[in-house]
Amino acid sequence: MKTFSDARRVIGWYECRWVIEEYHKAMKTGCNIEEPQFTCTQRLQLAIALLSVVALSLLQLRDASRRADAQDRPATSLFGEDYVSVLCAWRHREVRSDWTIHDFCLALARLGGHQNRRKDKQPGWLVLWRGWVKLASMLDGAIAG
C-alpha cells in the first residue's frame, strides 16, 4: 500500500469479511455443502450454484428481519402470499392480512426453535433456516390437502 486510497480499499475489503464468514458458515452448516458426493464436476458445480442461492437467501432473510422497516413492511412484499398465509395460520390459527416482515420472521424463528423471549437475541439464520424447512413442508401439505 502506497497511498491513502489503497489503505481505504483494503479496509473496505476487511469490512466485508464478516458477511463472507457468515456466507461460508451458511454454506457449510445450513446447506451442508460438504455432504454431496458427486463424481462429476459439472453436477457438483450445479449443486454448489443452487446451494449458494439458498445460503444467500438465508442471510437476506435474517437481514430483512433486522431492518428498521421490518415492522412496517408487509410480509407479502418479501415472501409469497401462500407462505405468509400458512405460517400465520400455524401461529394464530387464522390468516391475518396485516402481517409484517417482523411478524413473519419471528413466527418462522419460533417454528425453527427460537423461544422469542424478551431477553433472547434476534434469531439468526440457522434457526430461521430450520423454520423455513418446516414451513416448506407445511406448505407442501397445504397444497396437497
The whole-chain average pLDDT of the chain stands at 88
Number of domains present in the structure of the chain: 1
CA-wise closest residue to 53 among 82, 30, 76, 86: 30
Amino acid at 28: K
CATH number at residue 85: 1.10.740.10
Residues 71-100 have a mean pLDDT of 92
Residue 67: what pLDDT? 92
pLDDT tens digit string along 90-139?
999 999 889 999 999 999 999 999 988 888 888 888 898 899 899 999 99
C-alpha cell at 86: 400458512
pTM (two decimals): 0.76
- Residue range of the domain that includes 21: 4-144
How far apart, in whole angstroms, are the C-alpha atoms of residue 21 and residue 14?
Answer: 11
pLDDT confidence of residue 110: 95
